[in-house]
Chains A and B, each alone.
Chain A
């Protein structure tokens, strides 16, 4: 089986689904690029090259470059989804949610419910998350918690290429609006990815590593930092189980709870900000379900309650890393009532 980057895996998933179903279209700013210029088309293929090449195979009626107009992109995608297309819309950076949230929050997410179940909205919104590239406060956030809070939306936060392909294909074939959060620094990570199409069901966590002493729940890029931490901790005799929920809505709370029932300890790693976030949500759920199993307080390792800073020195401090994760695990394991 071939090693592929997450970027390749996503591109492959898009191309395969577009081949399989002519209702699948890609729409967004510079998804190909170069329209209306003297230069070449497909100049960008997505701002980080994820959709490159689709234009050549599928043409500009299905790889649709738009103006910089997020509300119209999200709204058009929602309207198209409700009327028979299966659009994959790109919200270039999740930070741009600020200029288009209504079309997701009040439109796409609510169609099915407020219309009494008679409308389906097979919409996928691909969006970039994550700090670590010096992109500062408005291009670096990880806002999946905001989407997760909205009933009617499904939220996918893949950590690797294999998952990204299977989850994106699932998202495209799903009849509900799905927000697909791609971390900029996961794009170049490689894993073994089948050439064939496959679907990974939503709401099924991946157990990345088996362990007995402590459960680490981590999302997206944080899965890799947690694995680094677990390698270090293993040498200290601390055996970490790592769970990657893969989707925050639906959330596979069962797998997390079953693990905590065994380990009695939980550390949650979330690159997003700490208040009203996914880490807090998981902590609350496990607190409710596993109170008697817990041997130590649940710990969250998150970004601070600040905007994402620009200076690399500060940005490095902002992002949870393996050292912080390992320290949180040590404290959790050392905790004595």
Chain B
């Protein structure tokens, strides 16, 4: 078996994925591939996304044909030098059981008390100045499923469920920027983190900015993905629709607003949102947050000016096809921040173009991709 050959396996995205379906290959057998190249599209019941090559070489053999559904860890293809013996490699490949793999590399979940609230955190990786991932309105730490495992290969990465979200307590101490950023600060204190690279998406971007503004010195850098706080405009139809949606169809409809390609949204992502929204007190928590941040159909928390004056590195990542918050709002920080507008994304580029977003984050915080 050649040591130079590298197995391409079914990735594990998120906490609950057990299998995936090969939608189609973006490279053909015999093609030269570079690490980071998009190799194939994989559909899970939750989401459809692209899996990237983790090594460079020739795509020697595609084992998993289009349409096949395979467990996490299953062999999909082999990459390696043109001359290496592939058959023996395939014959000798052993699938690592998904559970074992999860134990080895998956984020560790736990609940902590912070700022008087029960907060769920997911930790992965070690060392360096930690990266802290703050999700958006109505989401949870699972929305970093394409990012946390990758970023955690090089350093400690902490994701958390905001109050009222995910598995955190559903009673809010407060819903505004002061209250929610206060909870994040309390979480970091509880975890012994005194300095971190903050990455926030949408509402989480606003909260990350608020942390940086209110607690100088805590943020080493700020990565804002389609953040709130830079303009007044927001798709109130999404916010209201998300608040109102109780049935699968309603949820599916509002979730498609998040992405450029509605096909990306799978049934179990809809189901996860439904399961979240069915919990007691979630409706009240989300309504309170919406009232504090998006009253009267527009954004009411303005952070742009304060962000400009932070004096720390700030980057903004936005999907060109964002239908929730217009990408044009990124321009308000041009000159003060690195601005990246991704052409193939809607409101969730960290899921839609995760590889690109991961590279932008890693480059920005000073680690080569």
Contacts and interface: CB of A to CB of B under 8 A. Distances in A.
Chains A, B in direct contact (C-beta < 8 Å): yes
Interface of A: 1, 162, 166, 194, 196-201, 204, 207, 210, 234, 255
A201 B280 contact: no
B167 A204 contact: no
B280 A197 contact: yes
A194 B279 contact: yes
Given A196-B279, A198-B275, A204 B248 contact: yes
B170 A196 contact: yes
A207 B267 contact: yes
Contact of B167 (A1, A162, A201): A1
Nearest to A258: B249
Nearest to A162: B275
Contacts of B45: 210
A81 to B, nearest CB: 22
Given A196-B170, A210-B267, 10 more contacts: A166-B278, A194-B279, A196-B281, A197-B280, A198-B275, A201-B247, A204-B247, A207-B267, A234-B69, A255-B248
A258 B246 CA distance: 19
Contact of A198 (B69, B247, B279): B279
Nearest to B109: A1
Contacts of B247: 201, 204
B279 A197 contact: yes
Interface string B120-136: 00000000000000000
B247 to A, nearest CB: 5
Interface of A is mostly: loop
A198 B248 contact: no
A210 B281 CA distance: 31
Contacts of B167: 1
Nearest to A166: B278
Interface string B256-291: 000000000001000000010011110000000000
Contact of A201 (B69, B246, B275, B279): B246
Interface in B218-264: 246-248
Given A204-B247, A204-B248, A210-B45, A198 B267 contact: no
B258 to A, nearest CB: 20
Please list the 10 inter-chain residue pairs (A to B) with the smallest Cβ-Cβ separation, ordered nearest first: A198-B278, A197-B280, A198-B279, A196-B279, A199-B278, A204-B247, A201-B246, A210-B267, A207-B267, A196-B280
Nearest to A192: B16
A200 B267 contact: no
A151 B286 CA distance: 36
Contacts of A199: 278, 280
Contacts of B246: 201
A17 B280 CA distance: 12
A198 B281 CA distance: 9
A90 B229 CA distance: 54
B278 A200 contact: yes
